[in-house]
Structure 1
Amino acid sequence: MTSALFEAPGPRARRRHFWYAVLVASVTGGAVCWMLLRFADAGQFDARMWEAFGYRGVQLRILTGVVDTFKAFVLAVVLSLLLGLLFAAGRLSAHRFLRWPAGALVEFFRAVPVIITVFALYATDVLRTCVTAVADLLRKGLGAPGEWLAENFASPTLWALVIGIALYNGAAQAEILRAGVGAVPKGQFEAGYALGMRKTQVMTVVALPQAVRTMLPSVISQMVVTLKDTSLGFFIMYEELLYAGKLLAQNTATPSGYPYLPVLCVVGSLYIITCLLLSYVARRIAAGHMLTMTGMVRNRRARSRDSFPGEVEGK
C-alpha cells in the first residue's frame, strides 16, 4: 500500500537507508562497547561493588528513598488533578473573565521549566512560613497524630517539589481534560440542553462520563510523567530515590572504588518497575472502565426491550 504522505523509496534509496542504518548501529555499538570497557577498567563490574547492598543500612536508605518518592508522587498527582479540573473548568467557561486568566495560567506553567518553578518555591520564605505554621497547628490541635503528620509531611522541601510539579502537570492535565470534553459530539450537549439541564449539569452528567474513556490513557501517561518528575527533588536535596542513590554512591567506599554503576542500575531499575506498575494499573483501569460502559449499554438495551417489546421486535 502506497503512502499518501511521501513517495515510496526506490532501490537506490533503500540501499542508502540500509547503509545509514548500519553506520548508526556501528557507531552506537562502538560507543556502548567503549563505555563498558571504561567501566570495567574502573572496576565497576567487580563483585565487591554489590556487597554494600547486603547491609541493612543501605537497604533502609533505598527504602526511605522509595517511600519519599511515592509520598511526593501521590501528593503531586492529587494536587495536579485538582488544578487540572480547575484550569479546565476555567478554559471551558463561557465568561471571558474566567477563560482568559485560566488560559494564561495554563500556557505560563506549561512554558516554564519545572525545575525553575521548584527552585523558585524552594527559595521562597512564604512557603517555609506557611509550612511551619501548619506544622505548629497540627501539633497543637491533633496531638500525637498531628506530630506524626508534621514530622512526615510538614517539610518545605517536600512542598516546594510537590507544588512545582503539580503546577506544570496540572496545566497539562487541564489541556487533556479540555481535549476530552471537546471530543464529545455536540449532539450530546444539545440533548442535555433540550432536557432543561444547565451547563454545569451537562458537563458533569453528560460530557465528563463520556470523555473519561477518551482521556484516561493520556491522564495516566501524564501521571507517569509526574512520577519521573519527582527526581527533580535531587536538585533541592529532597531525599527521594535519586538523591538517596547519590548519597549511597558517594559515601559507600569499596576496595574497587565507589559503586556508581551498581547504584545507577538499582535506582534505574526501581524507577522502571514503578513506571511499569503504574502503566499496568492504567491498563486495568481502562479495561474495567470499558467493561462498565459495555454493561451500562447492555442494561439500557435490556430496559428498552422490557419497556417497548413490540417496537424492539418490530425493528
Structure 2
Amino acid sequence: MSTVLYDAPGPRARIRNRILAVVTILVVAAILGFVIFRFFVTGQFTAEKWQLFRYTAVWRAIGNATLTTLSAFIVAAVGSLVLGLLLSIGRVSSHAWLRWPVTVFTEIFRAIPVLILMMMMYYGLPPLGFDFITPYVAVVVGLILYNGSVLAEVFRSGIESLPRGQSEAGYAIGLRKTGVMSIILYPQAIRAMMPVIISQLVVVLKDTALGFIVTFQELLYLAKFYGSQVDYGAPIIPSTIIFGSIYIGLCLILAGVAKWVEVRTKRSKRLPQDPDAVDAIGAAETKAIATQAND
C-alpha cells in the first residue's frame, strides 16, 4: 500500500522502526536517569535546597509573578494580532504609498531582536522625555512590535496561498476589495495559518521571560532572585525545576486551547450529516442547475 507522499513500510521496515523507537526511548531514559543521579549526588534533593519553597509568602510571590506574566502575555498577544492584521492589510494593498511604508516598518521590526526592543524602550526612551515607560510597558510594547511584524507576514502568506479564483469570484458578484478581504480571504487565511499563529503566540508567552533584563518582575526574574539566595543554599536547580514546570504548564494550556480551536474550526466546516438535510441541499442544487439550463 502506498500514498502520493510515501510508500507504506514493509515488514522489515516496521521491525527496524520499532527497534529505533525502543533504542531512542532507552537513550532518553538513560540521559534523564543520569541527570537525576547527578542531582541526587550533588545534593539538589536535600531539604536545605528546598527549604525556601516551604514558605507561604514565597508561593504567594510566585502566584503574583505568574499573574504578571499572564497579564503581559495576554496584552502582548492581543496587540500582536491586531498589529499583524493591520500591517498585513497594508502589505497586500494595491496602493504603493501604503504598501511600501508598511513593508519597511514590518521588515525593520521583524529584524530587530525582541530583547533589544525592550532595552531600547526601557533605557533609551526615558532620557528623551518618555517618563511613562515602565518595565511592563517596555516588555509589552517590544513584544507587540516584534511579534506583530512576524504575524503580518503570516497573514500575508496565508492570503497569497489562496487560489486567485477566490478573490475573482468575490469581485464577480460585485464585492469591493474590502468585502473580498474581510468576507472571503481573511477567514480562510486565518483558518489555514492557525497552527503558525498559535506557535507564534507560544513564542510571545516564552519571550516574556526576557523582561527580567529590564527588571520586569515576572517568573524568570523571581526564579533568578530565589536561586541566588545563599542563606538557603543557593537553590538554583530547585528554582529552575519549579519555574520551568510553570512555564511548561502554561505552554501546554495554550497548546490545548489551540487544539480546541482547531477542532471547532474543522467541525464548523463540515456539511450537515442529517440525510434529509443532505438530500434537501442536493435537490436545491439540482433545481438551480436546471433553472440555469432553461434560461
By the TM > 0.5 criterion, same fold?
A: yes
Residue from 206, 209, 214 that aligns with 2:187: 209
Deviations 1:101-121, CA, capped at 9 Å, x for gaps: 111111111111111111000
Map of 2:75 onto structure 1: 75
Deviations 1:14-36, CA, capped at 9 Å, x for gaps: xxxxxxxx9xx99xx78984x66
Matched, 1:288 2:264: yes
Higher relative contact order (CA 8 A, sep 6+): 1
Structure 1 residues 109 and 302, CA, compared in 2 at 3 Å: closer, same or farther? farther
Q: TM-score, normalization: structure 1?
A: 0.76
Q: Distance between the aligned counterparts of 1:120 and 1:248, measured in 2? A: 27
Map of 1:173 onto structure 2: 151
Residue from 214, 228, 239 that aligns with 1:263: 239
Equivalent position amino acid for 2:178 in 1: T
Q: TM-score, normalization: structure 2?
A: 0.80
Equivalent position amino acid for 1:217 in 2: P
Q: Distance between the aligned counterparts of 2:212 and 2:143, measured in 1? A: 13
Map of 2:107 onto structure 1: 107
Q: Percent identity?
A: 37
Partner SS state of residue 231, structure 2: coil
Map of 2:14 onto structure 1: none
Structure 1 residue 179 displacement after superposition: 1.2
Structure 1 residue 48 displacement after superposition: 3.0
Structure 1 residue 97 displacement after superposition: 1.2
Residue from 182, 186, 203 that aligns with 2:164: 186
Map of 2:199 onto structure 1: 221
Q: Cα RMSD over matched residues?
A: 3.7
Unaligned runs of 5+ in 1: 5-21, 133-154
Structure 1 residues 238 and 219, CA, compared in 2 at 3 Å: closer, same or farther? same
Structure 1 residues 157 and 202, CA, compared in 2 at 3 Å: closer, same or farther? same
Q: Distance between the aligned counterparts of 2:269 and 2:128, measured in 1? A: 46
Q: Distance between the aligned counterparts of 2:93 and 2:75, measured in 1? A: 27
Q: Distance between the aligned counterparts of 1:270 and 1:128, measured in 2? A: 37
Deviations 1:29-70, CA, capped at 9 Å, x for gaps: 78984x666644542221332232221111011111101100
Structure 1 residue 176 displacement after superposition: 0.8
Residue from 209, 216, 224 that aligns with 1:238: 216
